[in-house]
Structure 1
Amino acid sequence: MNSTVNTAIRIPTEIYEKIEFQASAEDKTISAIINNVLRKYVSWDQFVSDIGFVFLQKPFVRNIFEHLSDEIIIKAARTSCYTGMRDAISFIHGKNDLESIVDVLKLWFSASNFNNKVIQSDGKLEFRIQHNLGRKGSLYIGTLISSLFADLNIKSKESLLKEHSLVIVFNIVSKK
Structure 2
Amino acid sequence: MDSSDLEKVTTPKKTKSITFRLDTMVIDELQREAHGAEISLNVLVNQVLRRYIEWDRFENKVGMIPIPKSILCSLLNQTMEVAAEAKIADLEAYRDRIVKHVAESALKVMKDTVLFMRNDYSFWTVLDVLRRYMKVAGITSDHRVEQGRKHVFIIQHDLGETWSLFAKELLLMIFSELANVKAEINATDKTVKAEVNL
Fold conserved between structures, TM > 0.5: yes
Distance (Å, rounded) in 1 between the aligned partners of 2:168 and 2:26: 38
Gaps of 5+ in 2: 1-11, 81-94
Give the superposition deviation at 1:170.
2.1
The percent identity for this pair of structures is 22
The question of 1:54 aligning with 2:47 is answered: no
Partners of 1:50 and 1:142 lie apart in 2 by 27
| 88-97 or 151-160: bigger deviation | 151-160
**Number of residue pairs matched by the alignment:** 171
1:136-155 alignment, distance < 5 Å: 136-155=162-181
Residue 75 of structure 2 is aligned to residue 64 of structure 1: yes
In angstroms, what is the RMSD of aligned CA positions? 1.6
Gapped runs of 5+ residues in structure 1?
Answer: none
Q: Which amino acid aligns with 2:28?
A: E
Does residue 7 (structure 1) correspond to residue 18 (structure 2)? The answer is: yes
Runs of 4+ aligned structure 1 residues displaced above 2 Å come to 148-157
Deviations, residues 28-59 of structure 1 (Å, cap 9, x unaligned): 11111111111111111111122222221111
The AA in structure 2 aligned to 1:15 is V
CA distance in 2, matches of 1:142, 1:10: 47
Structure with more of its chain in helix, by fraction: 2
**SS of residue matched to 1:110:** helix
Amino acid aligned to 2:110? M
2:191 equivalent in structure 1: 165
Deviation, structure 1 residue 21: 1.5
TM (norm. structure 2) is 0.80
Q: Does 1:75 align with 2:101?
A: yes
* Residue 6 (structure 2) aligns with: none
| In structure 2, C-alpha distance between the alignment counterparts of 1:51 and 1:43, rounded to whole Å | 13
The amino acid that maps onto 2:27 is Y
Greater shift, 36-45 or 150-159, is seen at 150-159
Normalization by structure 1: what TM-score? 0.89
